[in-house]
C-alpha cells in the first residue's frame, strides 16, 4: 500500500480501537500482509495521539512488535489504555490511564530451526485465526482458519525462488477445493479446482490445468464416473468408469485417428478394441 492507502486504513482502524470494536480491528489487520499491517498500526498510533488532543477521554493506543526470521519488524499486539475517571481511586495512585487491554493480540514464537511464527487470535473464538511462518531464506507461509469451525480455510506459500502456492479448502471434506502453483516469473504451473458434495464431502467434479494438458473428472456417489484428458498435442482421451473400474476408453489423435476399448468388468482386461481410421472407417479386434 502507498502512504495514502495506509493513512485511510489507519483512520478506519483507529476508530475501531477507540470504540472497542475488537472484531472489526482483527478483520481489518489480518486482511493485510505483515509489512502493511505494521505500517497501518504505526499510523494508527499517530492518529490516536492527534485525536486525544481534542478528546482526552479516548484510550491511548499502544503497539508491540517483534523481529521475525527475515529480520523484519512485525505487529504482535495493539493495546488500548482506558482513561480513568476522576472518581476512580486508582487514578490518583497509578495515573490517568489504566495498564490497558489487548484489542488485537497475536502469539509470536521463535522456533529451534530459526523460523518464527505469528499467530493472530480471533477475538470471537479465542482460537487461532491465522498463522504466519517466516524463515530466513525467504520462505513464508500464511494459513487461515474458519472462525466458525476452526478448520483450515486457506494456505499460501511463497518460496525462496519466487514461486508460490495457494489453496482454498472445502470445510466439509477438509481437502483443497482450489489450488494454484506459480513459477518465479508469475506464470501458472498448475491450477486445480474440485467441487465437493456439501453433505458428504465427496468430490463431484474436478478440473486440472497443468503440464500442458487439461483433465476433467466427474464423480458420483460410488466414485469416479468419467474423465477427459486433453494432451498438449491436441489428442483427447475419454474414459468411463463403473463400480469395478474402467469400463471403456477412447483416444482421438489430432489427425482424427484413434482407438476405442471396452473392458471386462470382472478382470479389468480389454475385451474389445476398435481402431478409428482417418478416413472414418473402423477396424475391430476381439
pLDDT digits (tens, 9 = 90+) for 237-250: 999 998 888 899 99
Q: What per-residue confidence (pLDDT) applies to 243?
A: 81
- Report the range of poorest mean pLDDT among 9-23, 69-83, 96-110, 197-211: 96-110
Percent of the chain with pLDDT over 70: 92
With both helix axes pointing from N to C terminus, report the angle between 3-19 and 22-30 in degrees, rounded to the nearest 10. Answer: 160
pLDDT interval class at 83 (50, 70, 90): low
Residue 98 has pLDDT above 60, yes or no: no
- Chain mean pLDDT for the chain: 89
Task: Match 486504513 to its residue by C-alpha cell.
Answer: 9
Residue 187 has pLDDT above 60, yes or no: yes
Residue 215's alpha-carbon distances to 74, 179, 193, 199, in angstroms, are 42, 14, 11, 25
Average pLDDT over residues 118-130: 94
pLDDT interval class at 14 (50, 70, 90): very high
Q: What per-residue confidence (pLDDT) applies to 97?
A: 52
pLDDT interval class at 231 (50, 70, 90): very high
Average pLDDT over residues 144-161: 95
Q: What per-residue confidence (pLDDT) applies to 95?
A: 46
Residue 100 has pLDDT above 70, yes or no: no
pLDDT digits 0-9 by tens, 215-229: 999 999 889 999 999
> Cα(223)–Cα(205) distance, rounded to whole angstroms?
10
Residue 94 has pLDDT above 50, yes or no: no
Of 205, 207, 241, 237, the closest CA to residue 225 belongs to: 241
Residue 19 has pLDDT above 90, yes or no: no
Amino acid at each position: 500500500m502507498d502512504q495514502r492507502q495506509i493513512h485511510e486504513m489507519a483512520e478506519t482502524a483507529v476508530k475501531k480501537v477507540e470504540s472497542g470494536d475488537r472484531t472489526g480491528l482483527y478483520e481489518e489487520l489480518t486482511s493485510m500482509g505483515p509489512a502493511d499491517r505494521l505500517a497501518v498500526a504505526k499510523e494508527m498510533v499517530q492518529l490516536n495521539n492527534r485525536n486525544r488532543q481534542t478528546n482526552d477521554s479516548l484510550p491511548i493506543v499502544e503497539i508491540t512488535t517483534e523481529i521475525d526470521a527475515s529480520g523484519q519488524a512485525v505487529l504482535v499486539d495493539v493495546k488500548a489504555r482506558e482513561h480513568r475517571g476522576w472518581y476512580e481511586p486508582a487514578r490518583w495512585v497509578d495515573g490517568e490511564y489504566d495498564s490497558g487491554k489487548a484489542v488485537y493480540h497475536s502469539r509470536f514464537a521463535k522456533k529451534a530451526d530459526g523460523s518464527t511464527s505469528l499467530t493472530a487470535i480471533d477475538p470471537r473464538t479465542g482460537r487461532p485465526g491465522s498463522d504466519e511462518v517466516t524463515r530466513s531464506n525467504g520462505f513464508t507461509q500464511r494459513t487461515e482458519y474458519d472462525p466458525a469451525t476452526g478448520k483450515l480455510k486457506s494456505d499460501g506459500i511463497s518460496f525462496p525462488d519466487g514461486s508460490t502456492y495457494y489453496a482454498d479448502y472445502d470445510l466439509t471434506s477438509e481437502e483443497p477445493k482450489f489450488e494454484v502453483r506459480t513459477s518465479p516469473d508469475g506464470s501458472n504451473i498448475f491450477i486445480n479446482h474440485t467441487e465437493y458434495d456439501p453433505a458428504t464431502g465427496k468430490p463431484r467434479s474436478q478440473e486440472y490445468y497443468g503440464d500442458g494438458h487439461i483433465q476433467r473428472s466427474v464423480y458420483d456417489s460410488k466414485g469416479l464416473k468419467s474423465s477427459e484428458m486433453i494432451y498438449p498435442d491436441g489428442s483427447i482421451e475419454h474414459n468411463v468408469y463403473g463400480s469395478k473400474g474402467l469400463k471403456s476408453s477412447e483416444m482421438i489423435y489430432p489427425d482424427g485417428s484413434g482407438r476405442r476399448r471396452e473392458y471386462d468388468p470382472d478382470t479389468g482386461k480389454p475385451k474389445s478394441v476398435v481402431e478409428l481410421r482417418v478416413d472414418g472407417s473402423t477396424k475391430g479386434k476381439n
